[in-house]
């Protein structure tokens, strides 16, 4: 850690943006120098809460006045691209977004490629991949501590395959240490899983789900083939575990929305034996896995290392979701990645795409004035 304080701008200060602001205010090497928020009443309330004088209605106003070291962009996803490009063109050193990074692959490409070409760190956001225990488990796997990974599964790839599914895809790529090379998938809808339809209705509902433009209620079953040859079974529902499993001949590592469990060896009845994980303590812990995301992002700006969740990671997760839906649409056809047609898209759920204010999740000024408990 350096003695310098990184100047941070929070762009988008709804509930999640306020959570980011709490974190950046707490760290000893960061200071918030500006806040952008489209809602003037909320902007004033949040500015008072965090004692920030520089308040702006949009990103252009901010950049005309201040070029921060770090821009944390937590607007609805629809506005990420313009904000990322504007910050990159202005010379911001590090930029982060949250999830999903875009609806259209070409927009994600533009953000990643623009930042890469300018030497700017583009980080992802509040994803469990940035949990320090997951990062440590992945490093142990790379070091060969649990043997060679020969198989994997994604458990519960449904409901939101881009918005929420990016969590599983990002952890899968980390624990297998590989990109996805091919997907072959079958799609349905959560209402079919719940048993709310007869057979003919189920077929019609499933077809409608995989042909819709919006990432709402889609459930994917299938197989992902990783570039390193690992086959990944994809289950649309929990098995009963959620998350991601990876395994070798002797070990199984299970991420089930928390620090990974480790199983190594077998008892006399052939059952796996769960062992103590003994993960190392992490310096910061107040903000759950957002901590790892932000701290690794700052370290990347300072040292040139890679953030624990990157813009590239978010793009790959979006591409996997789009390819999975496309495979199901075409009749469970194997689809090679990367997709040649970068115009493919998958529209996030409305609250992710256009925000809570427009979708019945409005935050009052009174709520904006209050500290947000850590609920990650």
Condensed to tens digits (0 to 9), the pLDDT of residues 278-306 reads 999 998 878 889 999 999 999 999 999 99
Would you state the pLDDT for residue 373? 54
Q: What are phi and psi of 219, to 5 degrees?
A: -120, 130
Distances (CA, A) of 224 to 35, 176, 354: 41, 12, 31
Give the residue-averaged pLDDT of 62-85: 99
Run of H or E residues at 338 = none
Give the residue-averaged pLDDT of 158-172: 96
* DSSP per residue, 275-333: E---PPP-S--TTHHHHHHHHHHHHHHHH----SSBHHHHHHHHHHHHHHHHHHHTTS-
Give the residue-averaged pLDDT of 25-51: 97
Residue with tokens 């009443």: 41
Of 9, 15, 8, 26, give the one whose Cα is nearest residue 286: 26
Would you state the pLDDT for residue 15? 95
Would you state the pLDDT for residue 375? 43
Tell me which CATH code domain 129-270+316-343 carries. 3.30.360.10
CB 241 within 8 A of CB 256: yes
Which residue spans of the chain are classified as CATH 3.30.360.10?
Answer: 129-270+316-343
Angle (CA) 231 163 127, round 5°: 80
Of residues 372 and 191, more confidence is placed in: 191
CA atoms within 13 A on the CB side of 329: 16
Confidence band for 196, pLDDT divided at 50, 70 and 90 = low
Give the residue-averaged pLDDT of 92-99: 98
State how far the Cα of 46 lies from the Cα of 52, in Å rounded to an integer. 8
Tell me which CATH code domain 6-126+285-310+363-368 carries. 3.40.50.720
Of 242, 250, 248, give the one whose Cα is nearest residue 270: 250
State how far the Cα of 267 lies from the Cα of 367, in Å rounded to an integer. 53
Which residue spans of the chain are classified as CATH 3.40.50.720?
Answer: 6-126+285-310+363-368
* Maximum distance among all Cα pairs of the chain, rounded to whole angstroms: 69
State how far the Cα of 357 lies from the Cα of 320, in Å rounded to an integer. 29
Instruction: Output the pTM of the full model.
Output: 0.95
Q: Which two tokens stand for residue 285?
A: 């812990």
Condensed to tens digits (0 to 9), the pLDDT of residues 126-151 reads 999 999 999 999 999 999 999 999 99
């Amino acid at each position: 850690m350096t003695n310098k304080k990184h100047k941070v701008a929070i762009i988008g200060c709804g509930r999640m943006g306020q959570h980011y602001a709490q974190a950046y205010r707490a760290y000893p090497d960061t200071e918030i120098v500006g806040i952008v928020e489209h809602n003037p009443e909320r902007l004033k309330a949040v500015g008072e809460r965090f004692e920030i004088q520089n308040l702006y209605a949009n990103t252009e106003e901010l950049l005309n006045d201040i070029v921060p070291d770090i821009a944390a962009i937590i607007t609805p996803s629809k506005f990420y691209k313009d904000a990322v490009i504007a910050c990159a063109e202005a010379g911001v050193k590090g930029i982060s977004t949250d999830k999903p990074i875009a609806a259209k692959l070409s927009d994600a490409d533009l953000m990643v490629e623009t930042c890469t070409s300018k030497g700017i760190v583009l980080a992802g956001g509040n994803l469990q991949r940035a949990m320090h225990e997951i990062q440590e488990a992945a490093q142990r796997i790379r070091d060969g501590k649990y043997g060679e990974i020969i198989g994997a599964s994604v458990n519960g790839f449904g409901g939101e395959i881009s918005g929420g599914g990016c969590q599983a895809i990002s952890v899968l790529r980390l624990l297998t240490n590989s990109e996805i090379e091919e997907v072959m998938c079958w799609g349905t809808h959560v209402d079919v899983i719940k048993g709310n339809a007869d057979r003919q209705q189920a077929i019609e509902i499933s077809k409608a789900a995989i042909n819709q433009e919006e990432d709402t209620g889609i459930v994917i079953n299938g197989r992902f083939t990783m570039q390193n040859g690992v086959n990944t079974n994809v289950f649309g529902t929990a098995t009963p575990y959620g998350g991601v499993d990876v395994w070798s001949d002797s070990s199984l590592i299970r991420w089930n929305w928390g620090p990974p469990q480790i199983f190594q060896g077998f008892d006399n009845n052939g059952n796996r034996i769960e062992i103590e994980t003994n993960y190392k303590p992490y310096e910061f812990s107040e903000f759950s896995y957002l901590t790892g995301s932000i701290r690794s992002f700052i370290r990347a700006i300072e040292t040139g290392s890679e953030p624990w969740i990157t813009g590239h990671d978010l793009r790959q997760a979006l591409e996997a979701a789009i390819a999975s839906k496309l495979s199901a649409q075409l009749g469970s056809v194997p689809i090679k990645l990367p997709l040649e047609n970068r115009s493919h898209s998958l529209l996030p759920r409305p609250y992710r795409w256009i925000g809570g204010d427009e979708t019945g999740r409005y935050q009052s000024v009174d709520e904006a004035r209050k500290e947000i408990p850590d609920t990650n």
